[in-house]
Structure 1
Amino acid sequence: MSNSASAAPEQCPAHLPEYDIARDARCPLDPAPAMRERQAEGPLTRIRLWDGTPVWLVTGYDAHRAVLSDQRVSVDPFRPGAPKLSEGEASHVEVAKKQGRTAAENSFILMDDPEHARLRRMVTSAFTIKRIEALRPATQRVVDDLVDTMAAGPKPTDLVENFALPVPSLVISELLGVPYDDHEFFQTNSKAIINRHTTGENRVAARQRLTDYLDGLLADKLARPQDDLLTGLAERVKAEELTRQEAVAMGVLMLFAGHETTANMIALGVLALLQNPEQAALVRDAEDPKVVARAVDELLRYLTITHGGLRRVALEDIEIAGQVIKAGEGIITVNETANRDPDVFPDPDRLDLTRDARRHVTFGYGIHQCLGQPLARMELQVAYPTLLRRLPDLALAVDLADIPFKHDGFIYGAYELPVTW
């Protein structure tokens, strides 16, 4: 498939290494070997994408933050030169263009300021630390109930299906005001969107199904207000602060991001802890919440489930790490290598739950960093210690080599995680 941003052959030498995020099956929790090779070459290198398009690859921590905090780069995937990581993603953009769609379909995360800032402010108050902490008791009840059900059920069991996915799905459903009974519907469509091999037509169709679903819920909140985030968005529509399309797009974003990312992080975090029993003991036996909070940040750094990097395109010439990125050139910043930068995190390939890892870039950096990070942190701080304390003999029920990992997704994780106790 052609790409309007593809460079002429002389601009994309064949010797440029391909963008390869395939992880080593022997070390599935580590960054792709090819990404580590690029990192060894320097913080900013040139690579080529699947269609031959040359882009800048950012693997160093300081360069990563420099790019993400620079207002001269755009997050809009519809701009010429914006990287597309697969034929399916490129097709998605082309299909959306033909249908007259824009980045607004995906809400503010794919918008630049000032529109990004205007829309983000509409929901910022719902994710303040104070508001999220008020959800901790309810989250604890959700986790306890799920562990009760697991403990009473058959062994082995799939931790993804019976714990990792229900925890954030139940919490975000409660926060947004979405019926949890519909979880199979929104989980299925979310999976289609984040799979890099999904065709453009199928990705657009999956997003449209979620859009129609949230539009129906928003209509219900307009007619019958409740104490939830969707009602808050509906009230802003009534006040003409948001269009209905903008409100629905925000709802889709929060429903999607609010369960898919945290679910994968719960599963991979449990796997990492089971692979490091002495580290698991620190979480299981911790009485100080600060110890657990520090452990969660180290797990976020170590695992970095964003799989494929954050994509940007330069709006004008900028200099990063001694290199000039020209206007119109694509950029991919690789979170997992930035979080394994030895100049920032000594011995970065070692999981050390006593490490102060708060500087990690798992949630991004700059104006587009993840709005829901307080919610994700709180859910992880509840999920890990509760599970390990309630099921102290928790163990993998299969060999590591038999776990099906999500190598095909933009969010890394495990499709299944069989465990026993």
Structure 2
Amino acid sequence: MRLPIERPPGCPFDPPAELRGLPPMSRLEFADGHLGWLATTSAAARAVLGDPRFSARQELKHAALRSVRPGGPASPAPPGFFAATDPPEHTRYRRLLTGQFTVRRMRVLEPRIERIAAEHLDAMAKAGPPVDLVRAYALPIPSLVICELLGVPYDDHDFFQERSARIVTPGADSAGALADLTTYLGALVRRKRATPDDDLISGLTGDLTDEELTNVALILLVAGHETTANMLALGVFALLEHGQPYEDAAVEELLRWLSILHLGAPSRAALEDVEVEGELVRQGETVALSLPVINRDRAVFEEPDALRLDRAEARRHLAFGYGVHQCLGQQLARIELRIGYRALFERFPGLRLAVPATEVPLKTDASVYGVSALPVTWPVS
């Protein structure tokens, strides 16, 4: 098998049919010709992500899809790029960052997130329908939140949104976008070191070098708003298309059902021969994961293709990964999604698509799946 495999027209929420019903581990030809594996069940994914014999180091892995990372997969991760490191190096970064993503700190952010959502809903109401929910709501909320968390001036949020989107979009100038963000964040880190404030970057200046902290901030900035923004917009699209009223329990089911991390992400390289689900993965082979299929695993979820907002087992999804690399900001993402969905549907109970569902533009060429625009409308009295 070889990727990419396109989602069929008219099926914006379902995984491609070619990936359904595969064995837990299937042979996969990667973009560079490497013959590796594709994991398609929850058990296989947990076995790979939870086993230290599999590495997250990018210089050891092959890209299932064409790499959007400047320099390709052969370059070792720079200092601070913790997502592409293994223990004990990863453990050091993880311990420092976990102290910054405490439950207390996330709860302190809740009132601010509620105010941000309310302000943007006010602006939408003033502008009147129709509006593009991506630009008016889904992008600004997580962008503002991550900027506040890191201590980035919000006046620069457009700069970050545009460059973050280019980094995860094949064919875009990802190298230039990465260079712009790195230069900006490097200068910001130096300012925070000279004049610390009550933000995440300032809180880490005593533990990390400028280069390490710049790369940590880069990962958190891109991951902290690109994924959440896509989930906000695509989740609204799903709820409107299925005519389901929003409730807070919907967040976990939407995370499971939509699985916006696209095919091949995440992936791991075998450091030695490892048997997974009856298949022998040889040292040096890369295992890619299909989260859209894994989160529809019939062995874990009853009627997995159905969107059931009250699903009891929804939290068993792997949308935030598994093992030592499980998403650091998952609680923040959950808070943003819960507040974002609830505030939107409470303010506009008659919200509906302003165009036919087939005309909603999908991000089929990006590593983070979503909609590039979501025209919506609502009754105006």
State the TM-score bracket (shorter-chain normalisation).
Answer: over 0.9
In structure 2, the residue matched to 1:173 is 147
Indicate yes or no: 2:59 matched with 1:78. yes
The answer to whether the 8 A contact 1:92-1:203 is kept is no
Shift of 1:203: 2.5
| Structure 1 residue identity aligned to 2:11 | C
Shift of 1:208: 1.8
In structure 2, the residue matched to 1:135 is 109
| Structure 2 residue identity aligned to 1:92 | G
Indicate yes or no: 2:40 matched with 1:69. no
In structure 1, the residue matched to 2:269 is 313
Whole-angstrom CA distance in 1 between matches of 2:7 and 2:25: 21
For residues 137-286 of structure 1, the aligned pairs below 5 Å read: 137-198=111-172, 202-234=173-205, 236=206, 241-277=207-243, 279-280=244-245, 282-283=246-247
In structure 1, the residue matched to 2:344 is 387
Shift of 1:52: 2.7
In structure 2, the residue matched to 1:14 is none
Task: Give ranges in structure 2 of 5+ residues lacking alignment.
Answer: none
CA deviations 1:344-366 (Å, max 9, x no partner) are 00101111010021111000000
Shift of 1:155: 1.6
TM-score w.r.t. the length of structure 1 is: 0.86
The answer to whether the 8 A contact 1:168-1:263 is kept is yes
The answer to whether the 8 A contact 2:70-2:175 is kept is no
CA deviations 1:73-93 (Å, max 9, x no partner) are 1111112xx121344447632
Question: Which deviates more from structure 2 when the two are superposed, residues 187-196 or residues 339-348?
Answer: 187-196
The answer to whether the 8 A contact 1:155-1:419 is kept is yes
In structure 2, the residue matched to 1:286 is none
Whole-angstrom CA distance in 2 between matches of 1:372 and 1:35: 29
State the number of aligned residues.
376
In structure 2, the residue matched to 1:300 is 255
Whole-angstrom CA distance in 2 between matches of 1:89 and 1:255: 17
The answer to whether the 8 A contact 1:397-1:418 is kept is yes
CA deviations 1:1-36 (Å, max 9, x no partner) are xxxxxxxxxxxxxxxx21234212211111122222
Aligned residue among 116, 119, 141 for 2:93: 119
Whole-angstrom CA distance in 2 between matches of 1:379 and 1:89: 27
Indicate yes or no: 2:287 matched with 1:331. yes
The answer to whether the 8 A contact 2:272-2:282 is kept is yes
In structure 2, the residue matched to 1:4 is none
Indicate yes or no: 2:16 matched with 1:32. yes
Shift of 1:310: 1.0
The answer to whether the 8 A contact 2:144-2:154 is kept is yes
In structure 2, the residue matched to 1:354 is 310
The answer to whether the 8 A contact 2:269-2:287 is kept is yes
CA deviations 1:385-412 (Å, max 9, x no partner) are 1100100110000111111111111100
TM-score w.r.t. the length of structure 2 is: 0.95
Higher helix share: 1
Q: Stretches of 4+ moved more than 3 A in 1?
A: 85-91
Whole-angstrom CA distance in 1 between matches of 2:294 and 2:373: 27
In structure 2, the residue matched to 1:7 is none
In structure 2, the residue matched to 1:340 is 296
Whole-angstrom CA distance in 1 between matches of 2:282 and 2:171: 30
In structure 1, the residue matched to 2:72 is 93
Indicate yes or no: 2:34 matched with 1:53. yes
Percentage identity across paired residues of the two chains: 45
CA deviations 1:131-161 (Å, max 9, x no partner) are 2111111100100111111011032100000
Shift of 1:106: 6.5
| Structure 1 residue identity aligned to 2:361 | P
Shift of 1:206: 1.8
The answer to whether the 8 A contact 1:147-1:163 is kept is yes
Question: Which deviates more from structure 2 when the two are superposed, residues 17-26 or residues 162-171?
Answer: 17-26
Whole-angstrom CA distance in 2 between matches of 1:197 and 1:344: 36
Task: Give ranges in structure 1 of 5+ residues lacking alignment.
Answer: 1-16, 284-291
> Relative to structure 1, is the Cα distance of residues 415 and 400 closer, same or farther in structure 2, using a 3 angstrom cutoff?
same
SS in 2 for 1:213: helix
CA deviations 1:110-149 (Å, max 9, x no partner) are 1111101101111112212222111111100100111111
> Relative to structure 1, is the Cα distance of residues 43 and 370 closer, same or farther in structure 2, using a 3 angstrom cutoff?
same
